[in-house]
Structure 1
Amino acid sequence: MRPTRWRRSTHVLVGVAVLLLVTAVVAVGAMLTTGGPASDAAQAVDRQPDPAVAEPAVFGLAHTAPEPKPTLLAARLAPVVADPNLGRFTGRVTDAVTGTELWTQGASIPMQPASTNKTLTAAAALLALDRDATLRTTVHTDVDSPGVVILKGGGDPTLSAAGPKTQTWYRNAARIADLADQVRASGTAVRSVMVDLSAYSGPTMAPGWDPLDIQNGDIAPIESVMLDGGRTQPVSVESRRSNTPGLDAGRALAVALGVNPAKVGVVPSTVVEGDEIASVSSPPLMERLRDMMNASDNVMAESIGREVAAALGRPQSFDGAAHAVLDEIGDAGIDTTGAVLFDSSGLSIDDRLTAQTLDEVVVAATGDEEPRLRPLVDLLPIAGGSGTLSNRFLDTAPGRDAAGFLRAKTGSLTGTNALAGIVTDASGRVLTFSLISNEAGPTGRTSIDAVAAALRSCGCSA
């Protein structure tokens, strides 16, 4: 674990802004006709349309907005954090402009973070990788077996089985059909397909994962080539995931090439791969990070975690990715004391993070000392507007007040709810926060939303 190196922000990045409704009024000029009565034509006025006036929809917040007083903020939060449905509850609130801690409760206690863990994965990826980085999936010949082609995974979970006229699950994803077209164009006479999954090492399921989550559609065994994130139905929201995603990809290529999919297998380590005869690339990192954060995509998180591991020279495995993420975060001066990670998605019930670690990541993203982290703010879902927060903060008055003014990564497991993000308070001050609830009661999710909404409604400066 790495010691704390406090980072004080001197300004809040331009992207942390208030969203306003844009109103543009265009006056339509009268159209003259030549076939009307002369008196009508004489009275007609030839007018040009008034120019449209565009008012900015996004603008930076003034740094002079009053900073909340910790005593007043604590008093405002006291009733909502006392809700027994929060169970074991920890949290931390910080002023995004000054980096001053404004409120804390058990912030150094390691807790089950659920998918707020993805905040660390995204931050590590922004620090370690190029934003335009892509992942390649290739097809090779087999040197010793003419007619055998090898589908080699490079870690891209977006590769799609969708047909050429069907929208893919992941935007701008390559298709198995693209690879098949290239193989045919190469002139290779194909009699069978094999799959190379050697890019990833170690187990395909993390400690603390429930195998039932495959059937439930939350995860798939993590392999270096997958179709549509391991979904068995490429564009269905209700799709279960596959137990054998790598082999499924090989079978799909075999079908596209008109050879027997039943003969597809994993290549042994002794096979010598020959010429590359086909290749496709994933969408760039920023698109994949947006999918991961907005949809809380577990498979995407595990893939990106392994990219970070590869960049740091670690094995592309659960353990290698988890340690690489924590190393990269620690090197950025963020306190990772108490962190224990078994995956990059937060799906493991054995993961532990503190509210302090999560909040420090968000503080770093809103500041100016580490500009590589600034895009993280834009990746956070918007309350009542996008991603996993699109249907939250809409029902009650305090929640509706926060809609559009709060952005956060969500986390949800049985008995666990978490939020980590930013909010503009009633005085126009930007605050960062992390809230973690374990052993929650039946209304735990709405209870933690109430805490976040209280930050928006407070102001708490006088």
Structure 2
Amino acid sequence: MPAGSTSPNRSRRWLLPAVLASVVVLALAAVGVAVAQPGPVAQWRDGGAGEQSAAEPAPAAVLATADANAPEPTAGGVRAALDPLVSASALGDRVNVSVTDVVSGATLYGQGADDGTVPASVTKLVTGATVLAARGPGHRIPTRAVAGATPGEVVLVGGGDPTLAVDRNGFYPGAARLDDLAEQVKTALGGTAPTRVVVDSSLYTGPVHAPGWDDDIPSGGYGAAITALMTDGARSDPEKAKRDHDDGSHAAERVEEPDLHAGRAFAQLLGVPTDAVELGAAPEVGPDATPGASGGELGVVQSLPMVRLVDIMISDSDNVVAEALARQVALARGQPASFTGAGESMEAVAGELGLPVDGLTFADGSGLSRANRISPSLLTELIALAGDGSRPELATIFGGLPVAAWSGTLVDRYTDAAAKAGAGMVRAKTGTLTGVHAIAGVVTTADGRLLGFAVLTDKAPADGLEKARVALDRIAAALAACGCR
């Protein structure tokens, strides 16, 4: 089963990332982060454009507040609470765990903590942190139109924005739109009628599907061909996908050639026949290029700022957005925008952030690949780094983390009697593939202490999805229920 297949909150699918980015996020302020909006979040979300890209709703308090002066759990206390739970048969015979105190950085529990483990969708925490570090929270991804080699020829140049919409009915609210770009092109061309559309998606290189993806990923609706130009995350019917998503389904039919699909939609907006659309390359741009000259810019639209794209990726476990953001890390470092270039670049940035990269392997940025390896200790060190105030841009990953029994992939979890203590106290990213289950995030103890935790298992029974999830929920709930001293 692909990562992120749990149902989302039915009524707050897109409201929650914005709300939860501005709530009291477990009281990370206790460890030096201005939680309400860590760093200049208004500027980051705006991307320097001078105004908010979308109205921020009033915050709603849904999480318990931690206390920086609360007593710290002991390693012995945490072990007594967790040892009976990590050996649950539903988790299989390889369960790797790390628990740390966010304030002090002390390790409170470790079992295979430094072992690289198949992380599934928990990979997105590292993808989010590395793209925020490499690109910055306010960075926006452009989609451009330039003049082709002959009059009337328009080249649509993909910059890697996976949320680009055709019009206001797109899947991602607030996304850049091709109809806006088409109007810019018509104005720039003046009396010259567009006659042909060339699609330049050459920014990405290499295979469009990652090594290690299960055979049903491209066809099952959880992944897609990863191209530098696409609309609505390559969904073939974004309006139906929105309805299905609100009913609890993350899967959606995807188009086989996302770049050409987007090019044909753009051609229709320009009044160009869809059979006059082809793949190609933008002309070389001279230093004095004008809108009418070959290669001259005819228009540009910009994506949501990176902080919002990370919100979407994490809260909704969006695999296609994740792969696009991974390639942004590669582009920021001047590396090929491919699965290989993205993986190597994310590993390099993780090392520069001081995270333990021994055993770290990235075959993709979403976690769909079974070739990925991440250690629990890397995840808890990342959580501590994001929470200690030294890199305020990284704290924005907490804004998208689902809340137990409240939002995202945790909305329907923590309902088991032995896990209810975690409801509203746990904020975490989940990951699921067949036989692979993971969760990593933060939890507030009964005494008000903030802990980071990561539990990864990649040899669980293939037919035990629900039992494995309950077992994981009980581990985090045990930390929420005890002082562990």
Q: How does 1:87-166 map to 2 (within 5 A)?
A: 87=92, 88-143=94-149, 145-162=150-167, 164=168, 166=169
User: 1:245 maps to what in 2?
Assistant: 258
CA contact (8 A) 1:15 1:378 kept: no
Report the Cα offset of residue 348 of structure 1.
0.5
Match of residue 182, structure 2, among 180, 183, 190: 180
Residue 355 of structure 2 is aligned to residue 334 of structure 1: yes
Instruction: Provide Cα deviations, 1:84-110, integer angstroms capped at 9, x if missing partner.
Output: 110121101001111010011111221
- 1:317–1:349 Cα change, 3 Å: same
| Structure 2: gaps spanning 5 or more residues | 1-27, 37-58, 246-250, 286-293
Q: How does 1:223-242 map to 2 (within 5 A)?
A: 223-235=227-239, 236=241, 237=245, 238-242=251-255
Instruction: Provide Cα deviations, 1:335-390, integer angstroms capped at 9, x if missing partner.
Output: 01101111111111111111111111111112133333222222321111222112
CA contact (8 A) 2:148 2:282 kept: no
Residue 443 of structure 2 is aligned to residue 458 of structure 1: no
TM-score by length of 1: 0.84
User: 1:414 maps to what in 2?
Assistant: 434
CA contact (8 A) 2:227 2:259 kept: yes
User: 1:46 maps to what in 2?
Assistant: none
User: 1:448 maps to what in 2?
Assistant: 472
Match of residue 12, structure 1, among 26, 31, 35: 31
CA–CA distance in structure 1, aligned partners of residues 320 and 433 of structure 2: 16
Q: How does 1:353-372 map to 2 (within 5 A)?
A: 353-372=374-393
CA–CA distance in structure 2, aligned partners of residues 264 and 114 of structure 1: 37
Residue 403 of structure 2 is aligned to residue 382 of structure 1: yes
Q: How does 1:231-380 map to 2 (within 5 A)?
A: 231-235=235-239, 236=241, 237=245, 238-268=251-281, 273-380=294-401
CA–CA distance in structure 1, aligned partners of residues 417 and 376 of structure 2: 27
CA–CA distance in structure 1, aligned partners of residues 441 and 63 of structure 2: 19
| Residue identity opposite 2:479 in structure 1 | L
Question: Which range moves more in the overlay, 269-278 or 244-253?
Answer: 269-278
- 1:269–1:194 Cα change, 3 Å: closer
CA contact (8 A) 1:160 1:173 kept: yes
CA–CA distance in structure 2, aligned partners of residues 317 and 327 of structure 1: 15
CA contact (8 A) 2:66 2:444 kept: no
- 1:170–1:396 Cα change, 3 Å: same
| Identity within the alignment, % | 40
TM-score by length of 2: 0.81
User: 2:425 maps to what in 1?
Assistant: 405
Q: How does 1:168-207 map to 2 (within 5 A)?
A: 168-186=170-188, 187=190, 188-207=192-211
User: 1:45 maps to what in 2?
Assistant: none
CA contact (8 A) 2:123 2:366 kept: yes
CA contact (8 A) 2:419 2:470 kept: no
CA–CA distance in structure 2, aligned partners of residues 57 and 234 of structure 1: 30
CA–CA distance in structure 2, aligned partners of residues 16 and 431 of structure 1: 16
Report the Cα offset of residue 184 of structure 1.
2.1
- 1:16–1:294 Cα change, 3 Å: same
CA contact (8 A) 1:214 1:240 kept: no
Aligned residues: 412
CA–CA distance in structure 2, aligned partners of residues 408 and 15 of structure 1: 20
RMSD after superposition: 2.3
Report the Cα offset of residue 183 of structure 1.
2.1
CA contact (8 A) 2:32 2:389 kept: yes
| Residue identity opposite 2:457 in structure 1 | S
CA contact (8 A) 1:199 1:316 kept: yes
CA–CA distance in structure 1, aligned partners of residues 155 and 63 of structure 2: 50
Question: Which range moves more in the overlay, 93-102 or 168-177?
Answer: 168-177
Instruction: Provide Cα deviations, 1:139-174, integer angstroms capped at 9, x if missing partner.
Output: 11112x222211100111111124x4x3x3112112
User: 1:423 maps to what in 2?
Assistant: 443
User: 2:47 maps to what in 1?
Assistant: none
- 1:279–1:252 Cα change, 3 Å: same
| Residue identity opposite 1:86 in structure 2 | L
CA–CA distance in structure 1, aligned partners of residues 257 and 91 of structure 2: 38
CA–CA distance in structure 2, aligned partners of residues 374 and 136 of structure 1: 25
| Residue identity opposite 2:476 in structure 1 | A
Instruction: Provide Cα deviations, 1:28-49, integer angstroms capped at 9, x if missing partner.
Output: xxxxxxxxxxxxxxxxxxxxxx
Match of residue 83, structure 1, among 79, 82, 88: 88
Question: Which range moves more in the overlay, 101-110 or 55-64?
Answer: 55-64
User: 1:73 maps to what in 2?
Assistant: 78
| Residue identity opposite 1:157 in structure 2 | P
Instruction: Provide Cα deviations, 1:182-215, integer angstroms capped at 9, x if missing partner.
Output: 2222323111211001111122111112352222
CA contact (8 A) 1:11 1:98 kept: no
| Residue identity opposite 1:134 in structure 2 | R
Instruction: Provide Cα deviations, 1:26-82, integer angstroms capped at 9, x if missing partner.
Output: xxxxxxxxxxxxxxxxxxxxxxxxxxxx99888863322111121121111122112
CA–CA distance in structure 2, aligned partners of residues 211 and 86 of structure 1: 24
CA–CA distance in structure 1, aligned partners of residues 458 and 64 of structure 2: 37
CA contact (8 A) 1:227 1:234 kept: no
User: 2:56 maps to what in 1?
Assistant: none
Which runs of at least 4 in structure 1 moved beyond 6 Å after TM superposition?
54-59, 269-272
CA–CA distance in structure 1, aligned partners of residues 255 and 411 of structure 2: 28
CA–CA distance in structure 2, aligned partners of residues 341 and 136 of structure 1: 26
CA contact (8 A) 2:65 2:448 kept: no
For the pair shown, which has the larger CA radius of gyration, 1 or 2?
Answer: 1
CA–CA distance in structure 1, aligned partners of residues 264 and 399 of structure 2: 38
- Secondary structure of the residue aligned to 2:359 is coil
